[in-house]
Amino acid sequence: MKESFRGQSNLHIYFAEQYLTQLETTDKSEWGGHFHRATAESLIWQLLLAYQCHLADLLEQQPKFGLRVPAGHFNARSFTLAELPPEILELADREVHSPWLKSLVDYPFLQTVGSSPSGLIASDATRLERIELDFAECLAELKSVIARHRATLMEY
């Protein structure tokens, strides 16, 4: 079987599902909370990779637009041409207006702890201003968008 962006996207979705299951079944305090954060960020990374592979698949499946897959990290807003596939235009709009996708593509992996009153490195975890994502919602929404786009591409 030939390697494809679609297959890669499917695999990243599978890994994201595995991480979500792991998050739901492990104790948040394991490894002092680091395990939960590392697992959550691994899940986010898998969702981002699935999203990028989906974008690459859209480009590959619609050669009439003549777009190549960019090197490095990219999202739908990375494309600046006047004529883009409608799916890319939709996703670029969603990256700005849909909270789940905006939070996902703009997720800052290295979030700082903020200043503690005593100046110590450790601080109260409830005071952290981290971006919180609803992982199950992000996964479900991404799977839904991918499935809808793939069904549309079958019509071409």
pLDDT, the chain, mean: 86
| Cα distance between the two ends of the chain | 23
Position 66 scores a pLDDT of: 84
Which regions of the chain does DSSP assign to beta strands (E)? none
Instruction: With a cut of 70, say whether residue 89 has pLDDT above it.
Output: yes
Instruction: With a cut of 60, say whether residue 119 has pLDDT above it.
Output: no
Sign of CA dihedral 90, 95, 101, 105: positive
Instruction: With a cut of 50, say whether residue 117 has pLDDT above it.
Output: no
**Which amino acid makes up residue 39?**
T
Average pLDDT over residues 7-27: 96
pTM of the model: 0.84
Instruction: With a cut of 80, say whether residue 114 has pLDDT above it.
Output: no
